[in-house]
């Protein structure tokens, strides 16, 4: 299973900035990317074509969308469809990122619809899950993980290994500089793997589980080395090519 080194640029970067960062990043990792790693970039929609251009002909790289609406087309002002994203060259998409859940009010049912619809349309999906600090303090970590996975994967039937990944991102560690400790990551990822086995059977072992939440160049290699950690999803530290290249090669 390849390790997925994913950059989530959120609502940052003009087209020119995206182009520059992507080119610089690809230059920095050129010839150094281990064959068992894949680089994914999730730029804002407006910069998809610049990232596509930068990645043209490059091995081990792909890009995708941070969000979409799970319909083919229609009167959905402000939304974008998987078909449009594929037309722009996207092969991946995120669903259930904590900012979608907690800033924009997306619930597990909508997240589940997105995962199922995206897969059905031929996108590879990263389902993001993670507990809030109150939930962790109340001892509800495994309950939250189980629920978000069950509902997030409710609509899927047969899954082709490689089409689905999970990102475990504790909400309290996103953008806060507070990274989960090794034991916390080990525990949570073991719990995700166990729950995935119940939902997906054997495919669970071939489903990458990424960690996200304040991953930086200086903690990336220790995180990547942990059991059941098959990659990282990086926000802040992915915005600069230099820092993200150090994470990718960590």
Catalytic residue list contains 189:
no
If one asks whether residue 112 binds ligand PGA (CB under 6 A), the answer comes out as no
Count of C-beta atoms within a 10 Å radius of residue 240? 14
Q: How far is the CB of 86 from ligand PGA (least distance, A)?
A: 23
If one asks whether residue 234 binds ligand PGA (CB under 6 A), the answer comes out as yes
- Contact track, ligand PGA, 199-228, x by CB under 6 A: -------------xxxx-------------
Q: Judged by CB, which is closer to ligand PGA: 161, or 236?
A: 236
Here the tokens at position 120 are: 């059905």
If one asks whether residue 235 binds ligand PGA (CB under 6 A), the answer comes out as yes
Q: Judged by CB, which is closer to ligand PGA: 47, or 129?
A: 129
If one asks whether residue 174 binds ligand PGA (CB under 6 A), the answer comes out as yes
Identify whether the C-beta of residue 110 lies closer than 8 Å to the C-beta of residue 97: no
- Helix or strand run (H / E) with residue 220: helix 220-224
E strand map for the chain = 3-8, 37-42, 61-65, 92-95, 124-129, 164-168, 209-212, 231-234
Q: Judged by CB, which is closer to ligand PGA: 5, or 215?
A: 215
Catalytic residue among 38, 50, 97, 99: 97
Stretch that binds ligand PGA, among 135-143, 148-156, 232-240, 242-250 (CB under 6 A): 232-240
If one asks whether residue 170 binds ligand PGA (CB under 6 A), the answer comes out as no
If one asks whether residue 233 binds ligand PGA (CB under 6 A), the answer comes out as yes
If one asks whether residue 96 binds ligand PGA (CB under 6 A), the answer comes out as no
- Contact track, ligand PGA, 6-45, x by CB under 6 A: --x-------------------------------------
Number of residues that bind ligand PGA (CB under 6 A): 13
Catalytic residue among 50, 106, 131, 169: 169
- Helix or strand run (H / E) with residue 24: helix 15-29
CB neighbour class for 225 (10 Å; exposed up to 12, middle 13-18, buried from 19) = exposed
**Matching residue, tokens 């806060």:** 176
- Helix or strand run (H / E) with residue 113: helix 108-120
Of 38, 42, 35, 36, whose CA–CA distance to 18 is shortest?
42
Count of C-beta atoms within a 10 Å radius of residue 31? 5
Of 94, 197, 98, whose CA–CA distance to 146 is shortest?
197
Q: How far is the CB of 94 from ligand PGA (least distance, A)?
A: 8
Instruction: Give the residue numbers marked as catalytic.
Output: 97, 169
Contacts to ligand PGA by CB under 6 A:
8, 169, 174-175, 212-215, 233-237
């Amino acid at each position: 299973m390849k390790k997925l080194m994913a950059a989530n640029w959120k609502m940052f970067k003009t087209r020119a900035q995206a182009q520059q960062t992507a080119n610089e990043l690809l230059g920095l990792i050129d010839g150094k990317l281990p064959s068992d790693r894949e680089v994914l970039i999730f730029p804002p929609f407006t910069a998809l074509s610049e990232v596509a251009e930068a990645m043209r002909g490059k091995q081990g790289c792909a890009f995708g969308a941070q969000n979409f609406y799970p319909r083919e087309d229609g009167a959905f002002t402000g939304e974008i469809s998987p078909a449009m994203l594929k037309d722009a060259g996207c092969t991946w998409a995120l669903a259930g990122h904590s900012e979608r859940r907690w800033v924009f009010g997306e619930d597990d049912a909508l997240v589940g619809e997105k995962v199922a619809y995206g897969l059905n349309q031929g996108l590879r999906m990263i389902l993001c899950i993670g507990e809030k600090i109150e939930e962790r303090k109340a001892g509800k970590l495994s309950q939250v993980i189980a629920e978000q996975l069950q509902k997030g994967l409710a609509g899927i039937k047969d899954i082709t290994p490689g089409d689905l990944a999970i990102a475990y991102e504790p909400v309290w560690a996103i953008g806060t500089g507070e990274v989960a400790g090794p034991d916390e990551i080990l525990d949570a990822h073991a719990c995700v793997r166990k729950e995935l086995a119940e939902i997906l059977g054997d495919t669970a072992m071939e489903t990458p589980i990424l960690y996200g939440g304040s991953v930086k160049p200086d903690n990336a290699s220790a995180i990547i080395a942990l059991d059941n950690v098959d990659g990282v999803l990086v926000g802040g530290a992915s915005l600069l090519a230099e820092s993200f290249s150090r994470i990718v090669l960590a």
